[in-house]
Amino acid sequence: MARSITHVAFLGGINVGGHRVTMDRLREEVESLGFTNVSTFIASGNVRFDAPPGAGHDQRIAEALAAALGWPVPTFVRTAVELVHAVDLRPFGSLPEGHTHMVAFCRTEPDHAIEAASTEHEQFEVHGADVHWHLAGGLMSSALTLPKVAKLLGQPCTTRNMNSLRKWADSMR
């Protein structure tokens, strides 16, 4: 059996829009798939687990959660090394107070057309299957909603704030 490595799953739509689930329940569902050292990070659908390297973890988790919870749960898996790399990348440098850095996680490398949607107040940079998004006025100032961003990317995604990602990545170093 292959040696296990740490992975992170970013689950879309958890604890928003009426789709409520406890972190204990999420942990139990992911553990039921045979993954080990399962834990959650903040109550917004972030799950850490150990599993052998390889593809397919996102699909297994998405299918199991959809069956258990009764609604689709878009799932985007990265290794801990990939998460740390995304955090360390810093494509926008140090941001001034009031600016926000989000990362949109996709399943595959998205259409780079989103970079053309960059403006003076919002910039997008595609790095593999991750899209870094700088918002000069913060998320609430953006005219782009997550569905609009997903449409520009040409595929589903889920977003996380870099401040939270940095804290989580630091716990895995």
pLDDT of 139 above 90: no
Averaged pLDDT for residues 129-135: 97
Q: Which pLDDT value is given to residue 1?
A: 60
Q: What is the DSSP string of 73-121?
A: --EEEEEHHHHHHHHHH-TT-SPPTT-EEEEEEESSPPPGGGGGG--SS
Residue 43: what pLDDT? 84
pTM of the model: 0.93
pLDDT confidence tier of residue 61, bands split at 50, 70 and 90? very high
pLDDT band at 67 (very low <50, low <70, confident <90, very high): very high
Tokens of 99: 């600016």
What one-character DSSP code corresponds to residue 69?
A: H
CA–CA separation, 54 and 35 (whole Å): 13
Instruction: Tell me if 36 sits within 8 A of 30, measured CB to CB.
Output: no
Cα–Cα distance measured from residue 135 to residue 101, given in angstroms and rounded to the nearest whole number: 6
Per-residue confidence at 130, pLDDT binned at 50, 70, 90? very high
Give residue-wise pLDDT tens across range 38-52: 999 988 899 999 999
> What's the average model confidence in pLDDT over 146-173?
93
Question: For the domain with range 5-82, which CATH number is right: 3.30.930.10, 1.10.3720.10, 3.30.390.10, 3.30.70.1280?
Answer: 3.30.70.1280
User: pLDDT band at 143, cuts 50/70/90?
Assistant: confident
